[in-house]
Each structure stands twice: as C-alpha cells, then as structure tokens.
Amino acid sequence: MSVDFSEYGRRMDKALDHLAEEFGAVRAGRANAKVLDRITVEYYGSETPLNGVATISTPDARTLVIQPWDTSLLKEIQKAIQASELGINPQNDGKVIRLVFPQLTEERRKDLTKQVKKYAEDAKVAMRNIRRDGMDYIKKLKKNSEITEDDQKKAEKDLQDLLDKYTKKADEALAEKEKELMSI
C-alpha cells in the first residue's frame, strides 16, 4: 500500500505561495504594484484592497501612479500608504497619487536581503512542520498495522524527497530575489 501525500504537497505549495507574496511585498528599488497588495482603504464602510478602488500604473521604472475611480478616496489612499511600512511618501496632485521609489542604498539592500532570507527560512520551517505531520501520520498507520515496515520506510523516504523538492524551490526563489535586490 502506498501513502497519499497529495495533501502535504498542497500544503507545501501554499507555503511557497506565501513566500512569493512575502517576496512581492519587498520593494527592490523598482516600482512594482505588488508592494501595494497589502494596503486597504475604507470604502463605503468596508476595508477594500487598493487595487479594488483604483487603477495602478507604472509610467517608468521607479514610479507608480494610483488613479482612484472615485477622487474622494485620494486622502484615504494617501493615509493608508503613509500608515503602511512602505517608507515612501505619496504625492497627491488632486487627481492621482504618485509614488516615487528612491534608489536603494547598499545598506538598505543588505537589510532587505536579510529580510528575504528570513522569509525563505520561515517557509522552509513551515515545510519541515508539514513533513513532521506526514511522518506522524505514517507512524500512526504503522502502529495501526495499516502499512508494513517496508511501506513505512518507503513512505518516509518519499516524504523526505517531497520536502527536498520544495526546499529547493524556496532556495531558488530566494536566490532570484537576492539577485533582484543586489542588481542596481
């Protein structure tokens, strides 16, 4: 009997997706609309994602332009951006909000690199926890005599191979993000 690991694979996929979201929120000196994904504004009494109330464009490599569909939201959007941890001061001209991304200093690049390494390590810890859950499941199957000892060894090896595959993907994503951060 073989053990089905599809649930553990899905959970590891979610950990990778979360890592990609974390990486997307780290600004690399270039204008990227993903840095605004976590920002919400109050719109008709409910918190609404910024991209749900405005058009976001990138006229050049270091500028984002936010054009709300309802200009009465300009001040709300400006406040939400200032309250976020972006570290960029929005410029409001009465019609649109401009975000100009300054060039990153070497020191800031190194800080951001440490931050993305931490995100990658957190993702790998989450994946190892998923593997531990799988190992517990395999031991339970063996204890209940639902699988043989050979099946247990094979299942544990398969689960470790799955973890290795996902850890490698996280390392590749980290290397890509570090390269992006360190390029000028």
Domains and CATH numbers, the chain: 6-23+105-182 (1.10.132.20), 30-100 (3.30.1360.40)
Per-residue pLDDT tens for 93-109?
888 888 887 777 788 78
Q: What is the enclosing helix (H) or strand (E) of 119?
A: helix 106-143
Per-residue pLDDT tens for 133-170?
999 999 999 899 888 889 899 999 999 999 999 999 99
pTM of the model: 0.69
Q: What is the mean pLDDT of residues 114-121?
A: 92
Per-residue pLDDT tens for 23-68?
877 766 666 777 777 788 888 888 888 888 888 888 887 788 888 8
Question: What are the strands, taking DSSP E only, across 9-159?
Answer: 40-43, 46-49, 54-60, 63-68, 91-92, 97-100
